[in-house]
Amino acid sequence: MIDFQSESYTVIVADGTFPQHEIPLGYLKNAKRIICCDGSAQNLLLTGMQPDAIVGDMDSLNDELANRFADRIYLYENQDTNDLTKAVSWCSDMGYKDIVIVGATGKREDHTLGNISLLAEYVRSVNVIMVTETGILQPLLKSSAISCFTGQQVSIFSIDPETKVTSFGLRYPLSKTKITNWWFATLNEALGNSFSLEFSQGRLIVYLKYS
């Protein structure tokens, strides 16, 4: 997972519900740089912070802000991707490879599901996590050990239903299990300060609840 203390990561603020919880706000306040998907810039400014770049198709950025931040607007008019994907692609092109996404959930459920699923695409080119009001979502491309705390609530989602997953350190273990539905490996619990997931192919997304 991206080191919260390193202060070398980039935060992308998506145009969902703006963070209120102290953990996503902490990532924002300690970020090396903040990139806004166009419409999220206005909410960021209300906190006293400013975007280092605004990326997207600019369909939800008002004229006053467009003029005020004209020197840091990067227009992507391609309608085949959403603004979050445009922002991640821009960061990757700029060499910003450690990315924390906030504000990507909390409004329309279809947008929320789409944004979460995209983590499994983004992780092919960048190190990325999504930080929400309740927890952290981390995509995996290979077997990994994950830091946690005893009793932490854990859910595991498989993008590729043929992936066989084995877990160590969870209350309800998986043994070469195919996670064939979104609910199937949810509501698990960590037994110590780390757990591991083993799988030989496919993509997983792990959710870690704060408390």
Domains, the chain, with CATH or none? 10-136 (3.40.50.10240), 141-209 (2.60.120.320)
pLDDT digits 0-9 by tens, 100-131: 999 999 889 999 999 999 999 999 999 999 99
Three-class secondary structure of residue 102 per DSSP: strand
pTM, entire model: 0.94
pLDDT digits 0-9 by tens, 151-167: 999 999 999 999 999 99
DSSP string, 136-172: EEEEESS-EEEE--TT-EEEEEESSTT-EEEEESBSS
